[in-house]
Structure 1
Amino acid sequence: MGRRQLLVAGGALGLGAAAAPLLTAPAQATSEGPSSCTRVTDLGPGIEQFALMSALQVGDTVYIGSRNLEPTRVIAFHLPTRTVVSQTVLGTGHSIQALAVDPTGRYLYAGILTKGDEGKPNLFRWDLATPEKPAVGVGRTEDRDIRDLAVAPDGTVYAVGGIPGKAPALWMYDPATGKVTKLGTPDPKATLARAVAATDTKVFFGAGSVLAGGDGASKASLYAYDRATGAFADITPPEMEKDPSLRDLAVAGHRLVVSTSGSTEPAKLAVMDLADPSSYTVTTTTGKVVKNLTAHGDTVYFATDTGLHSYATTTGAIAPVAFDGDLGEVWGLDHADGTLTVVSGYGFVGEIDLATGRSVVTDLGRAGAPVVPQTTMGIAADHRYAYVGGNNAIARHDLRTGQVVNLRAPGEAKDAEVLNGVLYTGQYSSQGMWTYDPAKGGQPHQLADFPSEQNRPLDVCHDPVNELLLVGVQSDTEGGGSLWTYAPRTGRKAAYVNPVDGTQLVRAVATRDGVAYLGGDNPTAQGPRGTLVAFDPVAGRELWRLDLPASLTTGTAALAVRGRHLYGLTRKGGFFVVDLTIRRVVHTADHRAVCPGFAAMVTSRGVVYGVSDTTLFRFDPKTFAVSTVVAEINGAWYSGPHVNADHRGRLYTMRGHHLVRVEDGPVI
């Protein structure tokens, strides 16, 4: 059989499964809120899939951790039968990024990304000898999120991760005593640790600033922890110190394989002598990230944002590994018996025969993985379709038929707009802008790239005067942010870095009469926050700026324009109105009761609407007073709430895990 035949025969249409239609229940309409003119229509789950964030092969089974699904779970995919044969529900946190197995192959450990859940375990153990019994919580690290796990040959477990505002530590779990112990914080300026590996005598700790970079945060760092003495030694190769973070570590025989995430430079791959870490080789790759390290003999296999590659430790040569299709974001890579098993964020398992180059792809949903509603990101809509962003997918809701199709798009569609029937998205991380035209079919594709360190698009809006798409962006690794502009008609693009200042990112963008209004935010503990900048998006220059009153002490969360007024919300419910003709704040209020954190705003039919994690609300156009439109909307968001409007002014947002359309009566 040819490679293409195997792709189909190997499981459920493989790559095409991501576009399989998922039918929702019929829409249900209700009237609620303070006005009987408010009509809420339930359009069904926003996006449904088995999203994943980790994978590890143990024997003939691949264990896969879920991503942004509630509850969290690990599934077991049996390679010989290509079916999901068991699963365990962990029930805490939102994602599982770290998996490791003990030397006997019996116990699988899972580390949780929690976003809170104070006091609950973030380290779990599943007895693979009795998979019908659920995994149990065995401990908790003080670093809220566990990003990586390693098990030493004697069964001791080591964990790394992080919590905002605190340097990451190395943690140890002793199965004999059941205790979790903090072993130290080797890099006090790091913001996150994402890699750990262990031997009989050493533990290797990789950290950096892939999140909350800038403001003096560390770049890539690698430390060796002596298990006998408890001392840390800095063994970072100087060639890696410019990259923002250590990304992955693996012990391969007498070698330690080390990789980084790149930013202003491509990512690096190093091979170090375990007995003498000063003896090493470093190779620069073509990608911006090197991860999922696995070795066989003298060959190291790894994934980048450009695909799979092999590295020959004897010659230093890097070569691509052929695969007939798009792997997207890779979250698992293992080698066994001449076959690479790769787990894609698109929701499939690929098996690549290295001798023949043939591949078999199995869609996890059709193999028995639970396809359930996911927490969501950006939303956009027009008269025919509504779009909801998830991980490695965008759900397209047909507003006429109710049919839902999952489109493939790597990373995350953080925000989006629809212009003349065409979808435009800002894609995290370092994916630039993507587009999808339903009239042409196919899948979304990249429209424009931008400086890779400007990696997190946050807000997308359309400037009809200059015919530009405007995108506010954060740089996770370098600090600050940028404004992207793109002209759909001509294809012209530009990126204006740090238009607010060197520490403030651009959290929100609004436009009026061809002027872009940028809302600054600062994730660090020091420096200004909440600065507003009026910006010429064609000339690329500042027109004027305004600092918010001292009472509004947190950064900008959202902006919207109505007439001559610029409305704004801060990240803790502060509200302000700027009269753009006199460039002065003319109104402030505290709306934490309806907006306790992040928010989004949109202007529709002459009214500014806002949504928070809890409530959909509106502002009176004359008095600026707030009133509730839908209470307890409680959208299941991953990276902050969103609201958007179609050409008729109907609003789209999330209520729980469901997409809803809200038609609000006139408010004048």
Structure 2
Amino acid sequence: MRPRLLVLFALVLSLLAPLPAAASAPAPAADPPWTAQPLGPASVATPTGSGGFIGDTLWFSTRQANPPALIGLDPASGEAISQIPLPDSLGAWVSAASGTDVYVGTYTPAKLYRVDTLSGEVQEILTAGGSGAVVYALTVAPDGVVYIGTYESSGGRIFAYDPASGAVTDLGVTVPGQDYVRALVADDRYVYAGIGSAASLVRIDRATHEIADLTPPELAGATFVSSLALHDGVLLGGVSPRGQLLVLDTADPSRHELVQAPAETFVVAVTGGEPGRAYFAARPSGTLYGYDLWSGTAEALAVPAPEKAASGLTFHEGRVWGLVDGLAYSYDPASGTVAGLPLDAAGVTPSPEGPMALAADDEHVYVSGSGGVQIHDPAAGTSTRVFVPGEAKSLWPTGDTVYLSVYTRALIYELAQVSGPVTHLADIGHEQTRPRDSFFDEGTGRLYVGTEPDYGRYGGALASYDVATGELAVYRDIVDEQTISAVTADGDTVYLGSDIKTGLGTSPIATRAEVAAVDADTGAVRWSIPAPGAATVVGDLQLIGADLVGATSTGRLFGLDPATGALRWEHALGVNASILTPSATGVYTTDGKSIFRLTWPAPGAPVVSTVYTGLAGEWYGPASVAATPDGTTLFAVQGRTLVRLDVPGELFAPVSATAASSWVGHPDRSRVWRASVTVTVQDRHGAPLAGARVSAAWQGGRATACVTGDDGACVLRRTVADAAETTVDVTGVAHASLPGGAVEVSRTITVTAPERTSR
């Protein structure tokens, strides 16, 4: 998610100059107003969906880009000849050609569109689900009927659309209790469906809609049949997480074989090829394999895109064509050669994508997305992208290194230099796939990662990786049958927060999340408590001052005794925010719409204030704020744009002032008086800041300054004539302890003339 600045933890509790408090909702923004400076798209990419040929043009969709598009690529010229935007959604995972039309399935919302590739006209056909729903599978039968398969938390469904009549038929939940229809293929009589998260293969009679279960018993324990193709009377399917190709005789489904791809986890795409031969692509290697039907073995042919997942394979004009993020490639079986067509070189415009994680160091801002990390240099106004084999769900910069915790196989990588490449460090394994949080302990040199298990699995894990020795320890089910969603550490103790949700496609068993303290060396639980407020998700944990501070996904804050887990305080933030970012001026959090500052002027619950509104961040992961190590700058996401917010200087050096005035000469006859303003400056601990130079300007522009004494105070003086009042603007404080040696301040003090003596 983002680095926590350990050196600042002890400081946050005693930060002064808190903004106004609120009982259950953040207070309005304080003056001076914060402003957001746009730095460009947070992350840009061309993640591909599936595709196929119409004539000699390869048509494919884009996913995780807003708006998604249908791209027509001419392999002969290497150029994109058409880019047709689709209506607003989070992306388009699948497409299928039919004549000169292409059908495209989107997600959030899950809709089916028909695109006329000749005119560019886009027609909405049906809605299969709203927010969170996905069209994962799409196929066109020989007679033109279109079948779509969905993900829905209420069960994966199949819909049929007949273009001849315009009729839409809801075939219902395919397998009760299973949320995913991940693959579809159809012949004249049947539709075949690959199901998850408990892998199943079913056959549906297209006329009667009768369902037959064709799942071989050997698939027990697998999560998905995630890709399908028909070829020479054989049904080909990819089995996850086994790295196997399922081969099944459609005339006699009892005849089947499983072909193992060595050292692979996912068979991500399959296609028929020449008579008697098929091809499939697998991860994590990114290898393309060839398979002769019923031979029992697969042959590694090439690695067109190392570590990348193929979104689709198709066989056209004697070549195998594959789509991966940012690239289309072809494999020539005759020569064994691979040719690649980078999509950016073809003229495909990269699109801003929803960010997954955000972090910053003193020079760069890191935003992760699909298949990469966008690295911004705010000083230069530039950004570059580094390839990541998956999605970095958590980022942790420390020194010159960034540690990445990567989905889909719960991998740990490091980025040792901003130009890349990333280097693989460890596989967490233990049926874990999705990192949820990470924390790097500078004192012990250990990276801790909390994870969510694979689809259909229960029991998350805590991984401990020693960056010096490369030693990895994994502790699963510390919180029984829950995901580890938050992690922080102090010396020999790791603090964990959980999420009752586990692998996608499962139903939670627990009803309440937990917070636990565990031994960093053994994983033994020292104490464990139910999450305060009956929370089902602990979104973050931070050690702040003497408290272990937690936040839930519903915006509830709480403070625990780190030694015992005893509840010390609770506070309703009032908005749906969870990730906490400590800095020198407070702890910041966001609900994706506004930024909030938490300060602790006294022990107990924090004071919460709104410092910025209007973000409307379009996150693909949990919304967060990043801070530079010195705390002078925040970074956030506005829409899909990275923005910079400079932290007002007075939050680093809280200034208070008192005004006084006296007559020069006799009070009843004098027209001249002396204005005095005593300025007191405190450090971030709340102690008097001695030796600080206070810069100011009196009304009219006359500059002045004073230096604070041991009590943190100094006096600004001015003689005034023929005026009822005057003002002084305190503009800055300079001291070696402050960021850059000085901070700007905006504080105006008004001094009024003294009253005359009554006769």
3-state SS of paired residue (2:579): strand
Once structures 1 and 2 are overlaid, which stretch shifts more, 177-186 or 426-435?
177-186
Residue 657 in 1 paired to residue 640 in 2?
A: yes
Instruction: Please tell me the residue identity of whatever aligns with 1:245.
Output: F
3-state SS of paired residue (1:470): strand
Deviations 1:444-491 (A, max 9, x none): 121211106211001121122322111111013212211111122222
Question: 2:88 matched to which residue of 1?
Answer: 92
Residue 294 in 1 paired to residue 271 in 2?
A: yes
Residue 204 in 1 paired to residue 192 in 2?
A: yes
Residue 112 in 1 paired to residue 106 in 2?
A: yes
Please point out which of 76, 80, 86 is paired with 2:76. Answer: 80
Conserved 8 A contact 1:124-1:138: yes
Please point out which of 296, 299, 320 is paired with 1:340. Answer: 320
Instruction: Please tell me the residue identity of whatever aligns with 1:455.
Output: T
C-alpha separation in 2, matches of 1:320 and 1:582: 55
Conserved 8 A contact 1:323-1:352: no
Q: CA deviation at 1:432?
A: 0.6
C-alpha separation in 2, matches of 1:414 and 1:327: 17
Percent of residue pairs identical = 29
Conserved 8 A contact 2:93-2:107: yes
Conserved 8 A contact 1:139-1:178: no
C-alpha separation in 2, matches of 1:553 and 1:613: 20
3-state SS of paired residue (2:266): coil
Question: 2:42 matched to which residue of 1?
Answer: 46
Deviations 1:237-263 (A, max 9, x none): 11112211111111113111122111x
Instruction: Please tell me the residue identity of whatever aligns with 1:637.
Output: W
C-alpha separation in 2, matches of 1:540 and 1:58: 56
C-alpha separation in 2, matches of 1:109 and 1:553: 42
Q: CA deviation at 1:364?
A: 0.8
C-alpha separation in 1, matches of 2:193 and 2:475: 36
Please point out which of 161, 165, 176 is paired with 2:150. Answer: 161
Question: 1:430 matched to which residue of 2?
Answer: 409
Residue 376 in 1 paired to residue 355 in 2?
A: yes
Instruction: Please tell me the residue identity of whatever aligns with 1:548.
Output: A
Tell me: CA distance 1:35–1:471, structure 2 relative to 1, closer, same or farther (3 Å).
farther
C-alpha separation in 2, matches of 1:514 and 1:452: 23
Question: 1:25 matched to which residue of 2?
Answer: none
Please point out which of 450, 464, 473 is paired with 2:451. Answer: 473
Residue 585 in 1 paired to residue 567 in 2?
A: yes
Instruction: Please tell me the residue identity of whatever aligns with 2:106.
Output: I
Tell me: CA distance 1:57–1:535, structure 2 relative to 1, closer, same or farther (3 Å).
farther
Residue 284 in 1 paired to residue 260 in 2?
A: yes
C-alpha separation in 1, matches of 2:148 and 2:227: 13
Question: 1:312 matched to which residue of 2?
Answer: 292
C-alpha separation in 2, matches of 1:162 and 1:385: 37
Q: CA deviation at 1:282?
A: 1.7
Q: CA deviation at 1:431?
A: 4.7
Q: Which structure 2 residue ranges, 5 or more long, are not aligned? A: 1-27, 502-506, 655-685, 687-759
C-alpha separation in 2, matches of 1:453 and 1:256: 28
Once structures 1 and 2 are overlaid, which stretch shifts more, 520-529 or 390-399?
520-529
Conserved 8 A contact 2:54-2:100: no
C-alpha separation in 2, matches of 1:175 and 1:113: 22
Q: CA deviation at 1:644?
A: 2.9
Q: CA deviation at 1:227?
A: 1.9
Instruction: Please tell me the residue identity of whatever aligns with 1:274.
Output: T
Instruction: Please tell me the residue identity of whatever aligns with 1:446.
Output: H
Residue 267 in 1 paired to residue 256 in 2?
A: no
Please point out which of 525, 548, 554 is paired with 1:542. Answer: 525
Conserved 8 A contact 1:240-1:268: no
TM-score, normalised via structure 2 length: 0.77
Question: 2:55 matched to which residue of 1?
Answer: 59
Instruction: Please tell me the residue identity of whatever aligns with 1:541.
Output: A
CA-atom RMSD in angstroms: 2.1
Please point out which of 241, 256, 259 is paired with 2:235. Answer: 256
Instruction: Please tell me the residue identity of whatever aligns with 1:634.
Output: A
Larger radius of gyration: 2
Q: How does 1:370-449 map to 2 (within 5 A)?
A: 370-438=349-417, 441-449=419-427
Deviations 1:146-191 (A, max 9, x none): 1011111111111111112x11122111212323221132311212
Residue 124 in 1 paired to residue 113 in 2?
A: yes
Question: 1:643 matched to which residue of 2?
Answer: 625
C-alpha separation in 2, matches of 1:464 and 1:33: 35
Q: CA deviation at 1:140?
A: 1.6
Q: CA deviation at 1:493?
A: 1.5
Instruction: Please tell me the residue identity of whatever aligns with 1:414.
Output: K
3-state SS of paired residue (2:432): coil
Q: CA deviation at 1:332?
A: 2.2
Once structures 1 and 2 are overlaid, which stretch shifts more, 175-184 or 490-499?
175-184
Conserved 8 A contact 1:338-1:353: yes
3-state SS of paired residue (2:345): helix
Question: 1:189 matched to which residue of 2?
Answer: 177
Q: Which structure 1 residue ranges, 5 or more long, are not aligned? A: 1-31, 210-218
3-state SS of paired residue (1:101): strand
Please point out which of 141, 153, 165 is paired with 1:152. Answer: 141
C-alpha separation in 2, matches of 1:579 and 1:335: 62
TM-score, normalised via structure 1 length: 0.87
Please point out which of 437, 440, 460 is paired with 1:459. Answer: 437
Conserved 8 A contact 2:627-2:634: yes
Q: CA deviation at 1:112?
A: 0.8
